[in-house]
Copies of this chain bind each other. A is one copy, B any other.
Amino acid sequence: MSQSDTVRRILDTAEVLFAQKGFAETSLRAITGKAGVNLAAVNYHFGSKEALIQAVFERYLTPFCQALSVKLRELELDDDPLSLERLLTVASRLALGSGTEEPRRAMIFFRLAGQAYSQPQDHLRAYLRKHYGDVFNQFTTLLRRTAPDVPPVELFWRVHFSLGAVIFTLSGMESLQTISKKDFNRSVSASDIAQHLLPFVVGGIKGS
């Protein structure tokens, strides 16, 4: 146990602050201040702010995509005809997890994804495509099987539309503090949204 939890504290704080305020608007001083670590720790452990941003994504995305890839492979080898609902439910369940903290982190991360997409963080987009493009292709390949009557080019578009629906919605949710106080004020949770989202996406992908 030679390394302490400074790295984890930085990542935890950066994850929340980036999601709340955006990348450019979140200074290293704000992160290190709230994390209770020294300002120099970020550049000591990560090298730069850009590398920190990538590390935040990697910590969330790598285990998720690994798990997703496993689940998708199970579905691939399954003999039963795969329904669109089943595929989307599997992905959704995986993102929301089984615990109580995971949906909150999922929402935080979707906010991050929204910022990564609309803000032209080119380095981030390149990084995401390079590291997680395979799982995405695996998913779309499987999706094509569930909607064989939809032309591939049309399916391509509708996948992006669906991604936009969920990311945009979760990005636009009220501040994360009020969400975290789930006992009070009964604000919407990630699983609430998923429940509403599923019929929308299914209907959208199948088309009019």
Contacts and interface: CB of A to CB of B under 8 A. Distances in A.
A20 interface: yes
Interface stretch (A31-39, A64-72, A158-166): A158-166
Interface size class of A (residues with CB under 8 A): 35 or more
Contact of A164 (B22, B119, B166): B166
Contacts of A152: 184
A198 to B, nearest CB: 8
Interface stretch (A42-50, A51-59, A109-117): A109-117
A177 B77 CA distance: 33
Contact of A160 (B153, B156, B172): B172
Contacts of A172: 117-118, 160, 164
A156 B172 CA distance: 14
A117 B118 CA distance: 9
A202 interface: yes
